[in-house]
Amino acid sequence: MSDILHKKAKLVMFLRSQGIMRPHILSALERVPREAFVPRALVAHAYENVSLPIAGGQTISQPFIVARMTEALEINKRHRILEIGTGSGYQAAILSHLCRRVYTMERLRPLMVDAENRLRSLQVSNVTFRYGDGYKGWPEAAPFDRIIVTCQSERLSDILVSQLKVGGILVAPVGVTGHEELIVVKRTEDGADVKTLMPVRFVPMLKGTEQ
């Protein structure tokens, strides 16, 4: 246990050195046990700043990217957030400490079931799961204060932007594979303002669902 705490403290120091300074985000990263979200064989690497493979050919993003995307959302405790791409459930767990409710979607049923069980075991109660096609979003629960997409698409989804409140923020990796950039979209009364944060690399966003 002391080894894990040491590695976690070292990671938080690294994130600070990379400009992640908001205390509530660093606190959420400290509170969520990343070792619970990675395969057992990779637990020793849980607090390294690297992405790691999980089931279904997916990955858990490197902690810096999780922190940077979370920071870009500008979350407060009143917000309702839609996440596209549940994966291991790690990003949803981080968000759960920062907002009122997380709605998270996953197209791979086994991943969603595992993530739901994992968050339940961690006593996270403000995350709602849905097995479905992320391209369609979650219209019944819209509009959302914030939307985060954790998989790459070639262009910004008009459907997802339409499910964002005016003044809301969407963060997503967009671009052709190998040339993705993390973008931040703020919905306005007459459209959307878009800015680019940094180059990134994510698994692709696929249409439909898989059992």
**Residues involved in catalysis:** 61
User: Taking CA 61 as the corner, what is the angle to CA 55 and CA 62, rounded to the nearest 5 degrees?
Assistant: 130
For the chain, list the strands marked E by DSSP: 52-53, 59-60, 80-84, 101-106, 127-131, 144-149, 164-174, 181-188, 191-199
Rg over CA atoms, the chain: 16
User: Which of 69, 63, 95 is CA-nearest to residue 81?
Assistant: 95
What contacts 36, CB < 8 A, 6 or more positions away? 118, 121, 122
For 69-155, list the strands marked E by DSSP: 80-84, 101-106, 127-131, 144-149
User: What's at 142, amino acid-wise?
Assistant: A
